[in-house]
Structure 1
């Protein structure tokens, strides 16, 4: 049995490595997390609160805004949190154009160029706001979080096989023949538990149940391909509950699925659920095995064999960072 301390450290470490790997920012594993946060702000967050992506012509996505708000809460940085929150509401809110409280996913060249919402960003946005309301006792944070939470349920969920409630990727995801497009890393059980506590809406408990059902099933098989224990970035669930490949999208464990250790790890840390511990332990053991074989932690692994692609996220000598904080 993998110890709880090890897998929580693994989860937190992986997300830090993932974010650092999105640019030329390099942080020594011996340095404290505060230095990482300082470097992250310098590289990504502009003075007005916009989180830029240097790799994509300095554009901005709702996902990045929500990530930075979560980081700011965890780092107890209220000034930065408020900057990001204000910019996000002023520039990405769909309220004036579409009448809901979700976020436009893409901003570039001075304005929104795609008003479609992305449910992972909407969920992380509400999550960050609820955490901020607990940490800094801000009624405005909680009020906005509740509005977003209700619109997520109203617009970004759907019933599927066995009347199970599914989390859609956004205002889309209903495919032909009753199939549903799914991204396992969009499910955030720890956040969903907070949403339930805030609203007492049982639908969030149903989504948690779906999250662990999807994680357990999607790691076993995609169509006729047997998995190695890692989750795919994207998959489909058909009307009979079969897990299928998502055509035209990544089916490997990559830049989407890398978020799963953090999302599931928080459920282990805060709620100590058996489903979470089992799911995270399987990911940890698979990646630990490949790191021993290949001496490096890669960004992308094949779904079936766990074979890594070429991009290195972390060399084996850097693994102590995964046990830095827990």
Structure 2
């Protein structure tokens, strides 16, 4: 794929420039050549003011004063993913103060010495599992990189490079001729998983991975992106979506044996990744997903890939917006205006709603009904 080749070439050319830039501890020189992507698009002051109102409501509902983003529907726990989403939402709204508050709590509480982040924190107990979650580390590194340029913070860039480099060591695995991106440092290969390696396809945030690839040109991120795209194609073609997927045979990904055999709150994010970057079969795959959503009233749901049946709806504006965004990308039908009115519902649905709104404005402006 030409896109992947261009990304790889850009990464190789970057090594010397990045090393010099880090030596002088400034963000500007390095970020001038680092891939930023559509997420870094500078939007109008009116858009930032509008989104800031919504993000303020989100943070009022789901963030403590010291910057911990929590999930009240799950006992108030915090995941590294919730911190990553919070950083992304604050960046999208051009809110430097909130971004730094979330990052400071994340750094001081979750960050391991190697630059990865403990994935689970429980109120009253603190960090209960130091293993990382790859999706969170990808987003944290990318958001730090983008914020380093926007707000001229060399410390953000140094932290981003450390996370990206350690992550490449920890989770990129060459298996059967392809590079697999593991969901975390430990627990997803044999002998822990007899059908390992196991991946979580919702963690393949392709545009974010491209940002990380430029931060860490010494690891084969471009190959991991290519393999991830192939996994998506095979899973969508066979329609066996699952939260956790065995790629023991990379040519035949199947639901993993030792995880719940369902497609639910992880897999619902998969279409967001399908929307992230253009590639040869993107339109065709989006149309397949769109038809599945349309057959159930344009509402995503929980799916049992073994029985081939849908078992429940995923009710919430954020989930329904994913279906509406896919429908627009597949057919050209604009997203209904009601999805741009924000009111906190649940942490996860609300976070996805704000993230998808920003994705639409930066990547699919034709979908905005204005």
Q: TM-score, normalised by structure 1?
A: 0.76
Q: Equivalent residue for 1:245?
A: 255
Q: Summarize the Cα distance change of 1:154–1:200 in structure 2 as closer, same or farther, 3 Å threshold.
A: closer
| DSSP-derived class of the 2:76 partner | coil
RMSD value, Cα: 2.9
Give the 3-state SS of the residue equivalent to 2:263 in structure 1. coil
Partner of 1:120: 135
Does the 8 Å CA contact 1:235/1:251 hold for their aligned counterparts?
A: no
* Kept after mapping to 2: 8 A contact 1:44/1:51: yes
Distance 1:262 1:136, change over 3 A: farther
Matched, 1:66 2:84: yes
- Tell me how far 1:253 sits from its aligned partner: 3.3
Change (3 A) 1:240 1:123: closer
**Is 2:146 the partner of 1:144?**
no
Q: Does 1:313 align with 2:316?
A: yes
Aligned-partner Cα distance in 1 for 2:155–2:72: 31
1:236 aligns with 2:254: no
> Which residue of structure 1 lines up, in the alignment, with residue 279 of structure 2?
274
Distance 2:228 2:221 in 1: 10
1:1-326 to structure 2, matched below 5 A, reads 33-95=51-113, 100-110=114-124, 111-162=126-177, 164-172=178-186, 173-176=188-191, 179-201=196-218, 203-221=220-238, 227=239, 231-239=241-249, 241-267=251-277, 273-275=278-280, 278-279=281-282, 282-283=285-286, 285-303=287-305, 305=308, 307=310, 309-314=312-317, 320=336, 321=339, 325=361, 326=365
Instruction: Give the whole-Å Cα distance in 1 for the aligned partners of 2:172 and 2:61.
Output: 35
Q: Distance in 1 between matches of 2:136 and 2:316?
A: 23
**CA–CA distance in structure 2, aligned partners of residues 249 and 123 of structure 1:** 23
Deviations along 1:282-307, one digit per CA (max 9) or x if unpaired, are 24x34533454333413424447574
Cα displacement (A) at 1:33: 4.0
Question: SS where residue 115 of structure 1 aligns?
Answer: strand
Rate the CA distance shift 1:311–1:197 in 2: closer, same or farther, 3 A: closer
**1:203 and 1:155, CA in 2 relative to 1: closer, same or farther beyond 3 A?**
same
Closer, same or farther in 2 for the Cα pair 1:132/1:58, shift >3 Å? Answer: same
Cα distance in 2 for partners of 1:107, 1:146 equals: 24
Report the Cα distance in structure 1 between the residues aligned to 2:295 and 2:195, rounded to whole angstroms: 41
Query: Unmatched 5+ residue regions in structure 1?
Result: 1-11, 13-31, 222-226, 268-272
Structure showing greater relative contact order (alpha-carbon pairs closer than 8 Å, 6 or more residues apart): 1
How many Å separate the matches in 1 of 2:195 and 2:300? Answer: 35
Give the gaps of 5 or more residues in structure 2. 1-38, 40-49, 325-334, 341-356, 366-370
Contact map agreement 1:179 1:239 (CA 8 A) in 2: no
Q: Distance in 1 between matches of 2:275 and 2:184?
A: 24
Distance 1:292 1:218, change over 3 A: closer
- Does the 8 Å contact 2:122/2:128 carry over to 1? yes
User: Following TM superposition, by how much is the alpha carbon of 1:192 offset from its aligned partner in structure 2, in angstroms?
Assistant: 1.9
